[in-house]
Structure 1
Amino acid sequence: MTRAHMWEARAAEGRGPELDAWVRGHALPALRGSAGLLRTELFAAPGDRVLLITWWADEPSQVADPPPELLARPVHRWSFTSTHVE
């Protein structure tokens, strides 16, 4: 069973590059080597949003919250279980 965990944050006004740098410098290194981690993918979107998707063989590890001053709102998180792959 493969699980995907989506972590999405919206940066405070003008702080998108800092939020992206925080994910690269803190969140991703913290996940590396986690048991069951299969893959990570980082996306950027309009509105200074950052999306991190991680794929797991088991239960996903949680991604930490960035410093509050980088955020426009609380982080959103969703977990999914794969039901079909082609």
Structure 2
Amino acid sequence: MTVALMWEARAAEGRGEDLLSWARAQHLTPEPLRRETFRAPQDRVLVITWWDAAYDTELPELPEPDGELVMRAVHRWRFEPVPEA
């Protein structure tokens, strides 16, 4: 089974590039099957990782960045694939 973890944060004013660099520098052990990093308006950064694991498996996740780097707590979600109808 595959499970996807999503990590999303909003940077403090003017710190979007810093947050993006910070997120890219975070290493996960073990490494996921796949990892993608996105950015959006309002200095948001999104990281999605894919794992070969059951939905409730304990998996490494990106930590909370330093409080001065973000406007609010990180949002995290976990998803499992849905078979095509």
- Bin of the TM-score, shorter chain as denominator length: 0.7 to 0.9
Structure 1 counterpart of 2:62: 63
Shift of 1:84: 2.3
Structure 1 counterpart of 2:36: 41
Instruction: Describe how 1:20-31 pairs up with structure 2 within 5 A.
Output: 20-25=20-25, 27=26, 30-31=27-28
Q: State the one-letter code of the partner of 2:30.
A: S
Shift of 1:56: 0.4
Secondary structure of residue in 1 paired with 2:33: strand
> Aligned partners of 2:52, 2:44: CA distance in 1, in Å?
27
More helix by share: 1
Task: Show structure 1 runs of 5+ residues with no match.
Answer: none
Q: CA RMSD in A?
A: 1.4
Task: Show structure 2 runs of 5+ residues with no match.
Answer: none
Task: Tell me the TM-score normalized by structure 2.
Answer: 0.86
Q: Which runs of 4+ in 1 moved over 3 A?
A: none
Structure 2 counterpart of 1:3: 3
State the percentage of identical aligned residues: 51
Secondary structure of residue in 2 paired with 1:23: helix
